[in-house]
Structure 1
Amino acid sequence: MGIIGWIVLGLIVGALAKLIMPGKDPGGIIVTMILGVVGAFLGGLIGQYVFNMGGLQNFWSWSTWGLALLGSLIVLGVYRVIVGRKAVSSG
C-alpha cells in the first residue's frame, strides 16, 4: 500500500481511536489524527514483523484496518501517558 494510502488510513483510524479512547487530549483532533497516521505505520510494522504478513497491501482488508487501529490506540495511549505526565509535573 502506498504512502498516500497509509496517510488516509491513518487519518481515519486516528479519528476512530479518538472515539474508542474518549477524553481530553492536548492538541485536539488534529494531533490525534497525526498520531493515527503514526499508528497506522506502527500497525503495518506489527503486521510485517510480528505476524509475518509480508506488508499490508490491501487497503480494504480487515487485518490492515485492525492493525492500523491497534497501532493508533497504542500510539494515542503512549502519547497520553507522556503528555499527561508532563502536564501534571508542570502544573
Structure 2
Amino acid sequence: LISEPPPATYDPYAGMKTPGQRQLICLQERVKVGEITVDEAVQEFKAWQFNHEGRASSFRYQQENIKKLRDSITRRHKEREKSG
C-alpha cells in the first residue's frame, strides 16, 4: 500500500503555533508574494496585537464574571437546601 504525500499546505506543527505565530506567518507569506511591504506587515501585526490583547482581557473579564455568577448560584442553592 502506497501512501500519498501530504498536500502542499500540510503543516505538521500547525497545532503547536500560537495565534501570534500564525499571524506572523500569514504576514510573511503576504510580504513574500509582494502583496504588502515589510513596513505594512509590521503595522498590521501591531494592530493585530493591540486588538488581540483587548479581546483576551475582555475574555478574562467574562470568565471572572461567569465564575462569580456560578459561585452565587451555588451559594444560593446550598442556602435553600439548608433552610428547606
Q: Which has the greater radius of gyration?
A: 2
Tell me the TM-score range normalised by the shorter chain: 0.3 to 0.5
Larger relative contact order (CA 8 Å, sep ≥ 6): 1
- Structure 2 length normalisation: TM-score? 0.40
- Structure 1 length normalisation: TM-score? 0.37
